């Protein structure tokens, strides 16, 4: 049996592993620093207390039960030793026949140390829980403070990044301000902060159609979100967001959804990395300058696909398709067949803005908005969750929230040493 080691259990890694399950030609070990898979597109719903963490996450070991050729290893990659077909983890070594990087991307702060230290990213479950705790604690503080300026800072949120995450969390916070806050915090009636959405582009959701951009912009404006385009966050000092046009916004919370970058790993040649620290791969996802090392998902830069000469977008569908395609190629190579080049099939883009408010672009030129797009978004995201348990829990929570315009998940749960 050939040993395939997969680094990272996100969309790309988990789809590769599951596609190889039950294949007697391969022993597969998935390595991840967390012991669970989670669904990043719904992180913001955990952050705003509309979903619980277990609704969008599932432990790897339970997922791999009864899959005799799948193994899980909790650990973090420290170094690759290509000459020895070996990797060094934080807790030991592993030998491999094939090594696959599926490490995704991490938050890019563009060198701004203050932003890195004080802003809240939206990449992991830890980020989401930290955001939920901060939001709820600031509501409590806003009730008791006698300083009007301080109260407004506590209730003001700045979201940097006008992509799907930024749009969706802005809409969620706006809806919470109009419904839930008035129910749970009657002391704050008539005392509210602002929600700012800041992006350096000329429009929100820049990869989507012009109509989706316009519909999203108008919907958020009607919901009370202040949109600032063609401007970047320059710094974040003393609860003040500093923009590069000279303006400032007083806010206790800066949510960072403005960019991602891949990671560099010791042992992979410097010449193997391209734009955004992504590993340069050929049409078969083999890393440039290596023999048996591959990269899939957000961490790779593939320019061999003629429809995407500058590389594929760093979205879930690319990762899912590359994971499944990589499995087919491994099976082909092991049986003496010729592997095939990867071609991304764009299934469209969508974003939810609020209750009964969403946009969706489906190829070739279909555009939906409003209720139709809203339920289309719900269906796609429920079906994309990893198993039936997650789907049922999420569907139940969304059904309750839809009809009640409320949820009962707003608990501040944190370690004793976390303030």
Calculate ∠ Cα 176-179-185, nearest 5°. 85
H helices within 94-230, ranges in order? 113-118, 125-144, 148-154, 164-178, 180-184, 210-222
- Taking alpha carbons only, the member of 163, 154, 76 closest to residue 122 is 163
d(CA 400, CA 89): 43
- Taking alpha carbons only, the member of 102, 77, 92, 11 closest to residue 293 is 102
- Taking alpha carbons only, the member of 56, 55, 50 closest to residue 11 is 56
Q: What are phi and psi of 343, to 5 degrees?
A: -130, 125
In the annotation, is 168 catalytic? Answer: yes
DSSP 174-191: HHHHHTHHHHH-GGGTT-
Q: Choosing from 27, 76, 140, 168, which is the catalytic residue?
A: 168
d(CA 123, CA 8): 14
Q: Is 244 helix (H, G, I), strand (E, B) or coil?
A: coil
Kindly list the catalytic residues. Answer: 168
């Amino acid at each position: 049996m050939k040993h395939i080691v997969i680094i990272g259990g996100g969309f790309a890694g988990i789809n590769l592993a599951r596609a190889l399950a039950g294949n007697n030609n391969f022993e597969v070990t998935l390595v991840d620093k967390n012991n669970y898979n989670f669904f990043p597109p719904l992180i913001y719903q955990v952050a705003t207390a509309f979903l619980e963490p277990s609704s969008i996450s599932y432990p790897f070991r339970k997922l791999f039960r009864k899959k005799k050729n799948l193994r899980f290893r909790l650990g973090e990659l420290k170094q690759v030793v290509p000459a020895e077909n070996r990797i060094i983890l934080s807790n030991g070594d592993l030998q491999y026949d094939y090594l696959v990087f599926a490490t995704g991307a991490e938050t890019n702060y563009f060198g701004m140390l203050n932003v890195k230290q004080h802003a809240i990213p939206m990449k992991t479950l830890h980020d989401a829980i930290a955001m939920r705790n901060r939001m709820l604690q600031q509501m409590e503080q806003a009730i008791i403070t006698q300083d009007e300026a301080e109260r407004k800072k506590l209730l003001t949120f700045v979201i940097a990044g006008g992509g799907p995450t930024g749009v969706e969390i802005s809409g969620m916070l706006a809806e919470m301000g109009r419904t839930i806050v008035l129910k749970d915090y009657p002391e704050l009636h008539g005392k509210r902060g602002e929600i700012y959405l800041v992006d350096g582009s000329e429009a929100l959701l820049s990869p989507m159609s012009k109509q989706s951009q316009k519909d999203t912009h108008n919907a958020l404006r009607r919901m009370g979100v202040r949109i600032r385009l063609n401007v970047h966050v320059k710094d974040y000092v003393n609860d003040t967001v500093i923009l590069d046009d000279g303006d400032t916004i007083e806010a206790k919370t800066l949510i960072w959804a403005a960019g991602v970058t891949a990671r560099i790993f010791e042992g992979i040649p410097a010449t193997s990395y391209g734009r955004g620290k992504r590993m340069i791969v050929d049409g078969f996802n083999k890393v440039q300058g290596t023999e048996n090392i591959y990269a899939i998902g957000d961490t790779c830069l593939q320019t061999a696909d003629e429809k995407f000469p500058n590389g594929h977008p760093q979205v879930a569908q690319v990762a899912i398709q590359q994971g499944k395609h990589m499995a087919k190629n491994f099976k082909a190579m092991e049986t003496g067949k010729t592997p095939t080049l990867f071609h991304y099939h764009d299934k469209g883009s969508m974003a939810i803005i609020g209750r009964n408010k969403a946009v969706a672009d489906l190829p070739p030129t279909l555009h939906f908005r409003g209720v139709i797009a809203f339920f289309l978004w719900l269906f796609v995201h429920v079906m994309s969750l990893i198993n039936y348990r997650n789907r049922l829990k999420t569907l139940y929570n969304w059904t309750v929230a839809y009809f009640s315009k409320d949820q009962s998940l707003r608990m501040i749960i944190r370690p004793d040493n976390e303030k």
